[in-house]
Chain A
Amino acid sequence: MKKLIVIVLALVAIGGVVGYMMYNKPHRSTAAATSDFVVSAPTLFQEFNTDETSANAKYLDKVVKVQGTVKSVEADEAGNVIMTLDAADEMFGVICTIPKEEAANAAIPEAGEVVTVKGVCTGKLMDVVLIRCVLVA
């Protein structure tokens, strides 16, 4: 009987720890993730422009490595960086948000530089949006 109580308590404790860890599980690290696709910014934009449904099926929630020329860079008050890559379109491009933790450790490129970023694709509004981006050397 005593043994049973110990086992039950142990199970409850394990359950509690696992539950707590699941609740606090970290965000998928973009830096550590292998990219599902490698694509140029104009190609990515074009794919969404041509057929948004199939581009969504292909890219949504995927880690995508995108190469392109920086069109503009701005930082918000919290230190997050929002970088737009040129997509061979007059108005729209590929918007990459770089979280402040990442931005603080990276050399933020200037407009005109050619860069490669890795980020999670969330779809296209007017621009294609990537979040949790990291700059790839």
Chain B
Amino acid sequence: MLSVLVLFAAITVSQAQDKYFTKTGKITFYSSTPMEDIEAQNKTTTSVIDTKTGKMEFAVLMKAFQFEKALMEEHFNENYVESSKFPKANFSGTITNLGDINFKKDGTYKAMVKGNLTIHGVTKPIEVPGTITVKDGAIQAVSTFNIAPEDYNIEIPSLVREKIAKQIKVTVDMAYEPFRS
């Protein structure tokens, strides 16, 4: 959270055209087991990308993940991610192959992003692949990767363990617009 603020603050002092942001980014997660498929979507992710340095910041409110079933949403918030105690998740990272991406030219580029993901108060380093599409001065960034709830000290009772995948598939879809200060 603080890092997002710092990045926003940094925006005003550097070249505005280098920074792109969104407040309506989508993050979906999907858990698939033979017993049950569970999906949740959050449509209000805030994210900033600095095309000059390759820095990316994401922040999301855990309570804004919406599930198909009310009971799933309740379990997610109250028992698993404890969203009242840990209301936010964030990621702060850097594009490691910035040289391969030309933000000034329309096209689709492969990107690797490395950084720290914080969920449930636990921070872990992750490195994920993604795709960046530059078109008409806007940037779209998409990434799909897996995370394990256990890595973030998210305890799932053995009674329902079989219903929740060991690896949760996370999909990130951000449509960035140029930042105007």
Contacts and interface: CB of A to CB of B under 8 A. Distances in A.
Contacts, number: 72
A22 B24 CA distance: 32
B59 A126 contact: yes
Contacts of B84: 56, 60-61
29 contacts: A23-B71, A24-B71, A25-B70, A26-B70, A28-B70, A56-B84, A60-B84, A61-B63, A74-B24, A76-B26, A82-B43, A91-B8, A95-B23, A120-B63, A122-B63, A122-B64, A122-B87, A123-B64, A123-B87, A125-B46, A125-B61, A125-B88, A126-B4, A126-B23, A127-B44, A129-B44, A129-B61, A131-B66, A132-B66
Interface in B1-26: 1, 4-5, 8, 23-24, 26
B177 to A, nearest CB: 11
B64 to A, nearest CB: 4
B161 interface: no
B contact patch SS: mixed
The 7 closest A-B pairs by CB, nearest first: A122-B63, A122-B64, A27-B70, A122-B61, A123-B87, A125-B46, A123-B61
Nearest to A28: B70
Contacts of A23: 69, 71
Interface of B: 1, 4-5, 8, 23-24, 26, 43-44, 46, 59-64, 66, 69-71, 73, 84, 87-88
A97 interface: yes
Given A80-B43, A82-B43, A131 B64 contact: yes
Nearest to A80: B43
B43 A97 contact: yes
Contacts of B69: 23-25
A80 B26 CA distance: 12
B69 to A, nearest CB: 7
B83 to A, nearest CB: 8
Interface residues of A, number: 28
A84 B46 CA distance: 13
Contacts of A80: 43
A125 B70 contact: no
Nearest to A57: B84
Contacts of B8: 91, 126
Contacts of A28: 70
Given A27-B73, A97-B44, A127 B88 contact: no
A129 B70 contact: no
B24 A82 contact: yes
A90 B62 CA distance: 25
